[in-house]
Structure 1
């Protein structure tokens, strides 16, 4: 029932522009999500849904079956979408609390274990050969990233910065391993990449560089988020009546 790739067979370069994914269930879920986000004024949540649209509906979905480099972009979009949704205030995100007691340490370990686990060749190839395993991959990557960003959001600045550094390092390390691997690790991409004019090894090296360099972007955005919140808290403290009395 679930055999085969969710995004369809690996396309060649000539057909990729026509390979949009119009799965009615997926479109209904995304439409419902963005409707709720817009009606409640959650522009960040709407941006997160838009990133998921690019990941799962646009031709990137099909390209990620052929190229490991496209899959790396796909995974980064999931992490960025989780970041966008995690920034929404809890009272504006129906059915979700953002004050849960996530530990930065545990959340970082969980995110790292999930992300690295799905890059074990046997598990990765299974995800691209079975739709149930594929969606397990997508959901666990998104959920563990969401838990990580929630933990970062509620932590003190020192702990949050530490978590961001560890997150960036683990992403860069995995990217470096993939970049310098001397042979293709994933069977499906080894077969499909040549139809795009890339050797399997070159495709894997590009994927590693995307993860290594591009993977820093969401963590840099997380750092900017921490700085912005710290400035806001300092401004609120400086403007409070108690602070004013202390300065008088």
Structure 2
């Protein structure tokens, strides 16, 4: 076990471009956050700052740290990596209400010559509005989840590093769209949440549950990559797969169902108050 861990750490190298991208995003956000705090101090709290920076840190931890090496060796570690990208990083980033701070953090000349012209393009705005419609965001996120867990695609991504990056980008981008519809960070137009958002979350949990249950109970290793690329940790591939499925099932369901329960209580309380007011 210790030799396997040592081997993974020895093979790890600092991902320069990812690290620079994360640091630049952090610096732009912090710069914009301090600028907007001058006029919206109550809206942009320390919690929003910490949430966004935590999201960036976990993003780097998931795909930039030696954890990525563990994900190549263990299916269970790979599932944890995917959960971080899809269920932890997006809500943390979006809770930080990143749109305006990132724009305010950019140099003025970049906003004027690049950001402004792009934001004024009607087709681009229409595309953005279309992608954050709940049915579209739900479909894209779940298609990404299921598509990349098809054995052929899963094995291919692990065997080709560039496609592994594409897989991570698909998970992160579609999950940002999915959670945008739940959190709708300012300055997005706030919409009154209704019972439809519960269906949105519960059906997403159902998809995650079905995939997890299949991996847990199919009774055979599904992904041949772990059978053909050695076994650093000397663990049964089937046991590793079951562990990964359980982690995905329990943690994934928690991420979907806790917000659903909170929204249910809020909606039930609202309607109860409304009925009392009518009485």
Name the TM tier (shorter chain).
Answer: 0.7 to 0.9
Q: In the TM superposition, what whole-angstrom CA distance separates every residue of 1:22-52 from its partner, at most 9, and x where no partner exists? A: 0211111111112223333333221110111
> C-alpha separation between the residues in 1 aligned to 2:245 and 2:208?
10
User: Any unmatched runs of 5+ in structure 2?
Assistant: 34-48, 104-114, 120-124, 185-190
Q: Normalising by structure 2, what TM-score?
A: 0.70
Q: Is contact 1:52–1:78 with CA below 8 Å preserved after alignment?
A: yes
> Are 2:115 and 1:85 aligned?
no
- The structure 2 residue matched to 1:195, chosen from 232, 235, 248, is 232
What per-residue deviation string (whole Å, max 9, x for no partner) do you get for residues 52-76 of structure 1?
1110222211000011100000001
Q: In the alignment, what sits opposite 2:18?
A: 26
Instruction: Give, in angstroms, the shift of residue 211 of structure 1.
Output: 0.7
Which is greater in Rg? 2
Structure 1: give runs of 5+ residues left out of the alignment: 1-10, 239-245
Partner of 1:43: 50
Return the alpha-carbon distance in structure 2 between the equivalents of residues 64 and 18 of structure 1.
15
Structure 1 residues 169 and 148: alpha-carbon distance in aligned structure 2, compared to 1, 3 A threshold: same
> Does structure 2 conserve the Cα–Cα contact (< 8 Å) formed by 1:20 and 1:57?
no
Deviations 1:57-101 (A, max 9, x none): 22211000011100000001101111212223343343799x835
Contact between 1:18 and 1:59, CA under 8 Å: does it hold in 2?
no
Residue aligning to 1:100: 129
RMSD: 2.9
**Whole-Å Cα distance in 1 between the matches of residues 69 and 78 of structure 2?**
9
- Residue 194 of structure 1: how far off its partner (Å): 3.4
How many residues align structurally? Answer: 223
Asked if the contact 1:30–1:49 (Cα under 8 Å) also holds between the matched residues in 2, the reply is yes
Q: Determine helix, strand or coil for the equivalent of 1:183.
A: coil
Sort the Cα spacing of 1:168 and 1:194 in 2 relative to 1 into closer, same or farther, 3 A.
same
C-alpha deviation, 1:184, in angstroms: 1.0
Partners of 1:161 and 1:88 in 2: CA distance? 23
CA distance in 2, matches of 1:93, 1:199: 46
User: Matched residue of 1:160: which SS?
Assistant: helix
Provide the TM-score with structure 1 as the length reference: 0.79
Residue of structure 2 aligned with 1:72, choices 72, 79, 94: 79
Q: Which residue of 2 aligns with 1:122?
A: 152
